Amino acid sequence: MLWTASLCLLWASSILCVPVNKQRQRLLLISFDGFRWDYDHDVETPNLDQMAKDGVKALYVTPPYLTVTSPTHFTLLTGRYIENHGVIHNMWFNTTTKEKKPYYQTQFVNEWWDNGTLPIWITAQRQGLKAGSLHFPGTASSYQGEVAMMRDVEPRLYNYKNETAWRENTDKVMGWFRDQDLDFVSLYFGEPDGTGHKYGPDSPQRREMVKQVDRTVGYIRSSAKEHGLAEHLNIIITADHGMSTVYRNGVVEEITLSKIPGFSFKDVSFYLVDYGPSGMLLPKPDKLEKVYNALKGAHPHLHVYKKEEMPDRLHFAKSDRILPIILWADPGYLINGYFPVQFNKGEHGFDNQEMDMKPFFRAVGPAFHKNLEVGPFETVNIYPLMCHILGIQPEVNDGHLNATKHMLVTSDSTKGTDTNILQNVFTGLIAVAGFLVLVFIVMISHKIVKNRKEDKRSDSSKHLPDNNSVKQTSF
């Protein structure tokens, strides 16, 4: 009986070490390119609103500078400022050959991306998890010879607006989670960026595209349920940057470098301008001061910095890829080279402190509180948050978990589990108490039975003849 009691106690105490809700934490990171923080203010967005009630909504988030697509997305994947991860522009370029490659072709220039910083796909896989990516900038590259386990790169001339394709891509990703047993996936949608560029952020076309985004958010969550993922899949939805209206048609004096007195492209060996409100210049030998002095103060809405003079808050100076002179314009203004060649009604690439450059942020799932609105934070902090949820050790990064941990149900996380420690202890104590009661009842019952047996023996002995008296009578 003592052995049985000990076994019961051992079994009960072991329950204290077993998670009650053993639940694998999975994570889906979604980017809707160019979704500004306030795009849901002038459009009915029932699905985004419901997501906020079911999870967390940030007032806005601040992307890194330079506020363009590839650099800011790689910050999401690495938690590093652009000067540290080295993907400094949408375009790969070579200052010696003067060669440039546009956004899509740059996706396949491996050395542009594989620059010493690992995206979260590789970090997760090296620590035993499974990761995938669909259309996310950087997906096409390998990193130290490794790629995401599951990946899908959009074809050339891809239609980023196709809502049917959005749903197909959503179901593909959910299938990866279910059938390929993935732990993390990044998913990219190219809108409402394209619509914001073409028609402007205040246009009815942009508002219609936001409705499409909202429908897709609803579809994403319903697809997660259909694939049996809803209860253990965390979803983070954000964007790379916002969008600002461009001033044109004689409303303002445009910035055209060739028209600035004292400046000449003959003094420049390489330049990146005509791509919105930002630019970089590589002056010829001994021409840096001449170029700098000609441009500095030449236009009231043009900011000109030597690389080493860049404001520390922008974290855009340390990389060897950044050219010696950096230019950016105030919101609404573009930087033209010889003459205007770009006629978008909306643009990004401005100072990341400008409100028009701020993206939105939503998060929902078992790791997150419900119906919680939080203040703004930098997107560089999303990476350590994701690593924490997945239970992996992050690479060196510029973010801080302290900036986001108040969103989480618990700041403690273990790999592959979602364990409520207090609930485990409480349940374990109940189990131990229950077994102790059981052992007590068994022991009492055993005692009662033993006593009854002894009483029966005693009663029986009273009815037996005494040996001595028998002998005496016989005698």
Angstrom distances, CA of residue 419 to CA of 33, 56, 225, 229, 424? 34, 20, 22, 18, 8
Positions marked active-site: 69
Within 8 A by CB and 6+ apart from 76, the residues are 29, 31, 186, 238, 240, 379, 382, 383
Alpha-carbon span 340 to 256, nearest angstrom: 7
Phi, psi of 335 (to 5 degrees): -105, 110
Asked if residues 88 and 82 have their Cβ atoms less than 8 Å apart, the reply is yes
Alpha-carbon span 319 to 414, nearest angstrom: 35
Within 8 A by CB and 6+ apart from 26, the residues are 177, 182, 183, 184, 229, 232, 233, 234
Angle between the N-to-C axes of helices 69-78 and 382-390, in degrees from 0 to 180, rounded to the nearest 10: 40
First-to-last CA distance in the chain? 50
Within 8 A by CB and 6+ apart from 473, the residues are none
- Number of helices and strands in the chain (H, E): 14, 20
Measured in whole angstroms, the distance separating CA 272 from the mean position of its chain's CA atoms is: 30
